[in-house]
Structure 1
């Protein structure tokens, strides 16, 4: 990114469970056009615990968190929002700006509960189980600090398979995470879009709301 100016605000992009950094490429292109410097961060969501993920990412974030650096924002999809919370609590960036979560299971996911309760299915979650279930171990809950920063949360309520989702998730949901689970009372704003979990990082409507929150600290339409 040699064409980027040193005073441009940075946006760290964190993917969700079983994701890869390249999955944030469309989001990064949108942010670059809007004048931000996007940084796509990848991590092993299956093989590393939340604590280990934070230890892995900390030195990579330090490159963008030096004295006098421009604001450092975070946009995180799904489990990436939990990673963001833990990172901020462990070592808060000096120039932390605003944080946007997309479909993050702040209260856990009943789908993760279902997988975790069945021995043959439990390995699907790997080391992420403790972070994704609705009743988290105390050690995992201890990784999350107070929400004393500007946080906007985008939830979806259009699951791709609504009947299957309804059997495991409280309505409304995005097919993987219920709208209720995304909420945090300390958040500056919360909005629900007619999108599925997988579409939240890609849809133009979500992109418009992300840009608006990073600029204004609130979403472009009435909070839900």
Structure 2
């Protein structure tokens, strides 16, 4: 019985603790997606005692600069709480554009999932095509050239953790990418000068936000400002299942 008790204690210590009081997380979905794509993440964060604002914005209808007011609207819903962010894909670029001019005094931690921080080689390859046109003006801004929007937004001067994927479900796009990639972006293109931590998971671009490992690592970074590079999938799954079922441990 003593051994069982010790094991339970160790597992409890490994769990991401629930949020401290007055913590809000704004979720920003990716290109051609909706807030529904971030629903699994939203549920997990709420169980961990965060206030969550799952923002919606017309990602295919406006350029990035015209999408930033939607971030302001979402942040206002956090009230006076400390504001953290979790973004997917284009959401990371929209956030970077917003933070350039609107950084809040109570900014917390930021986690970007598969962000095209150095631009997208896919956007380069299909520039001017009907595919990019359908995806909208923001997609047209995501090239890798030195004058592209992602390259002009500058380094991170906030606590940023980035999760990249290296599993592809899109062999056509992957054939146009140089190096490990998630079917849309190379791992290298997700990185950003000034980031606090970076981790690569064996996941695809489209569904990276729903995976237990991603959720566990996101919670860990929000609470500690770093990822757990030793965490395995089984441990992550257990952590996610137990969110909200243990008392927060002392700091």
Q: Structure 1 residues 57, 185: closer, same or farther in 2, change over 3 A?
A: closer
RMSD: 2.1
Is 2:120–2:185's contact at 8 Å kept on the other side of the alignment? yes
Is 2:56–2:70's contact at 8 Å kept on the other side of the alignment? no
Match of 1:131 in 2: 141
The alpha carbon displacement at 1:164 in A equals: 2.3
Match of 2:226 in 1: 218
Is 1:105–1:177's contact at 8 Å kept on the other side of the alignment? yes
Instruction: Return 122-131 or 40-49, whichever deviates more.
Output: 122-131
Match of 2:118 in 1: 107
Moved over 4 A (4+): none
Q: Are 2:56 and 1:49 equivalent residues in the alignment?
A: no
TM-score scaled by length of structure 2: 0.78
The structure with more radius of gyration? 2
The alpha carbon displacement at 1:136 in A equals: 6.1
The gaps in structure 1 that reach 5 residues or longer are none
How do 1:61-72 residues align onto structure 2 when only pairs under 5 Å count?
61-64=75-78, 66=79, 69-72=80-83
The alpha carbon displacement at 1:167 in A equals: 1.5
Deviations 1:122-152 (A, max 9, x none): 41231113432112646x3587244111000
- What SS is found at the alignment partner of 1:29? helix
Q: How far, CA to CA, are the matches of 1:165 and 1:127 in structure 2?
A: 20
Q: 2:209 pairs with 184, 201, 205, which one?
A: 201
The gaps in structure 2 that reach 5 residues or longer are 1-18, 231-251
The alpha carbon displacement at 1:34 in A equals: 1.1
Q: How far, CA to CA, are the matches of 2:151 and 2:173 in structure 1?
A: 30
Count of residues in correspondence between the two structures = 212
Instruction: Return 6-15 or 32-41, whichever deviates more.
Output: 6-15
Deviations 1:19-61 (A, max 9, x none): 1112211100000111111110011111111110013432342
